[in-house]
């Protein structure tokens, strides 16, 4: 007669054996296996749940005070979903920024200067307009990428949230990239192009990443130096915002 | 009437960050109990409770309001504890730290219980048994310890364990079995001692 394996005996103790009827039948017929089962039972019944010393009365308050200071400022996913402007509004704003900068350069009383200088100035204004408008988008993208770079394998179950954000960012990213191209800003356009590939990868990837998937994504972000590029353009945009107070086109209109 | 967890979650999601306090107050203690059974340490358990609450807050938009918040939180706590135990194991392995200097690393060795003298004090023996069990538990890998605690001490089903630990049911069963197997090796003489 073939004896039960240790695994079958242990799992039978918890009623988790796959073939419990057969195990039971075998135990009633086989003394050796029955003795082994009794040994396992004797040991396991002695392992009683660990007594947990009750924490102090103000335990919950202490936890809250520690947690409260570390809570993120806002629930990005929720607010992005419900409060962020629809894509057509973003598109409209971008179009207005670009058009504003264009018309400002075209109809504002022309300062003295050579045609080449004037053309260069107009182009610079349009570029500045795109740069300022893209700042918030880059900021949000940067936060998403940083979260992914710092994600640990255990965090992957929360990936659907990141995917939803990536999808939102992907749509606006396309608009900004096209605007940057039209505004003649190759540096911003190239960075947005790189960003778009990564966002597409996140948005269209599986909702549950394996550790290998996560590492591949992290490598992709790292190898392109994307966070650094975004940081540089974001800083530039921030400087523009600070030095002009508002969009350059609007300033002159 | 007590406001439901789901209603409070909705309130937090609507921007009332302080409403999260109610959820912290309602669930911290039970999470602490779970963490303590798995780590055996008060300070570590408190840290796990905090991390669980923070993680839950960040993941709140993904909580389905129809689900049970306590169960959802329990799963987060299990995963935080797994991470914590894994990290602790790595540190111990790196620095070759043994929590109890009198306790030899149990690589296949059996835990030696004190010899029973005439008329042994059963209370003392019981305390010693508990200590030996705790030491043997410390030798388990993080998944083994978590799976065993859930199955043996909290009476969770294999389905619940596999769901919480994101394992296939067969892998969850195997973790429980490997834990018992290691405990048997460590605590071999225990059954005879207390009979």
How many whole angstroms from its chain centre is CA A237? 22
A-contacting residues of B 137-176, CB under 8 Å? Answer: 151-154, 158, 166, 173-174, 176
Nearest by CB to A55, from B25, B32, B153: name it.
B32
Between chains, do B62 and A39 touch, taking CB under 8 Å as contact?
A: no
Where are the domain boundaries for CATH 1.10.1740.10 in chain B? 1-97
Residue of chain B whose alpha carbon sits nearest to that of A208 = B166
Whether A76 is covered by a domain: the verdict is no
**A110 contacts: CB under 8 Å, gap ≥ 6:** A118
How high is the ipTM of this complex? Answer: 0.80
Dihedral sign, CA of A104, A106, A112, A118?
A: positive
Task: Judge if A90 and A66 occupy the same domain.
Answer: no
* Pairwise CB contact (< 8 Å): A72 & B58: yes
CATH number of B1-97: 1.10.1740.10
In-domain check, residue A78: no
**Which among B32, B62, B129 is the nearest to A46, CB-wise?**
B129
- Of the candidates A144, A133, A94, A98, the one whose C-alpha atom is nearest the C-alpha of residue A234 is A133
CB atoms within 10 A of CB A152: 11
Q: How far apart are CA A146 and CA B95, in angstroms?
A: 31
CATH of B104-195, one of 1.10.10.10, 1.10.287.3510, 3.40.50.300, 3.30.470.20: 1.10.10.10
Residues of chain B in contact with residue A6, where contact means CB-CB under 8 angstroms, are 177, 181
The number of folded domains in chain A is 2
109-138 of B, contacting A, C-beta below 8 A = 129, 133-134
Same domain for A105 and A225?
Answer: yes
Contact with chain B for residue A153, Cβ under 8 A:
no
Query: How does pLDDT run along chain A (253 residues), one tens digit per residue?
Result: 588 999 999 999 999 998 888 999 999 999 999 999 999 999 999 888 888 999 988 899 899 999 988 888 644 444 444 444 555 566 666 677 767 766 666 666 655 556 566 556 666 666 666 666 677 788 788 888 887 887 776 655 557 777 778 888 887 888 788 788 777 788 888 888 888 888 888 877 777 777 787 888 888 888 778 888 888 887 777 677 666 554 443 333 2
Other CB atoms within 10 A of residue A244 CB:
14
Residue A79 lies in a domain: no
Within-domain flag for A80: no
Pair of tokens at residue A197: 């590939």
């Amino acid at each position: 007669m073939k004896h039960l394996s240790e695994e079958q005996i242990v799992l039978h103790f918890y009623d988790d054996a796959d073939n419990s009827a057969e195990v039971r039948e075998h135990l009633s017929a086989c003394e050796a296996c029955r003795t082994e089962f009794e040994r396992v039972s004797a040991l396991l019944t002695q392992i009683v749940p660990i007594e947990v010393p009750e924490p102090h009365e103000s335990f919950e308050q202490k936890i809250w005070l520690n947690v409260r200071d570390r809570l993120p400022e806002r629930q990005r996913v929720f607010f992005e979903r419900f409060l962020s402007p629809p894509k057509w509004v973003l598109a409209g704003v971008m179009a207005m920024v670009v058009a504003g900068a264009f018309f400002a350069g075209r109809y504002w009383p022309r300062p003295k200067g050579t045609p080449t200088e004037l053309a260069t100035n107009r182009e610079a204004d349009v570029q500045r307009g795109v740069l300022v408008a893209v700042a918030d988008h880059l900021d949000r993208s940067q936060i998403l990428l940083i979260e992914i770079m710092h994600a640990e394998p255990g965090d992957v179950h929360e990936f659907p949230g990141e995917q939803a954000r990536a999808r939102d960012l992907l749509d606006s990213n396309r608009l900004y990239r096209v605007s940057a191209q039209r505004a003649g800003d190759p540096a911003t356009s190239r960075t947005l192009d790189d960003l778009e590939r990564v966002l597409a990868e996140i948005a269209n990837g599986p909702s549950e990443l394996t550790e290998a998937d996560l590492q591949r994504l992290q490598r992709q972000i790292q190898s392109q130096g994307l966070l650094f590029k975004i940081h540089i353009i974001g800083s530039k945009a921030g400087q523009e915002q600070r030095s002009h107070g508002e969009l350059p086109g609007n300033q002159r209109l | 009437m007590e406001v439901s967890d789901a209603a409070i979650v909705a309130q937090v999601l609507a921007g009332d960050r302080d409403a999260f306090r109610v959820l912290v107050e309602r669930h911290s203690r039970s999470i602490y109990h779970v963490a303590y059974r798995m780590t055996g340490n008060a300070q570590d358990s408190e840290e796990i409770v905090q991390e669980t609450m923070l993680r839950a807050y960040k993941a709140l938009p993904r909580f389905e309001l129809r689900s049970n918040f306590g169960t959802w939180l329990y799963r987060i706590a299990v995963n935080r504890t797994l991470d914590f135990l894994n990290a602790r194991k790595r540190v111990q392995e790196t620095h070759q730290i043994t929590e109890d200097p009198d306790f030899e690393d149990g690589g296949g060795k059996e835990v030696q219980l004190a010899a029973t003298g005439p008329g042994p004090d059963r209370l003392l023996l019981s305390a010693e048994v508990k200590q030996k069990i705790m030491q043997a538990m410390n030798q388990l890998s993080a998944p083994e310890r978590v799976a065993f605690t859930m199955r043996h001490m909290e009476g969770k089903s294999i389905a619940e364990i596999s769901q919480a630990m994101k394992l296939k049911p067969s892998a969850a069963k195997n973790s429980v079995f490997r834990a018992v197997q290691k405990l048997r090796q460590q605590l071999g003489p225990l059954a005879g001692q207390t009979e």
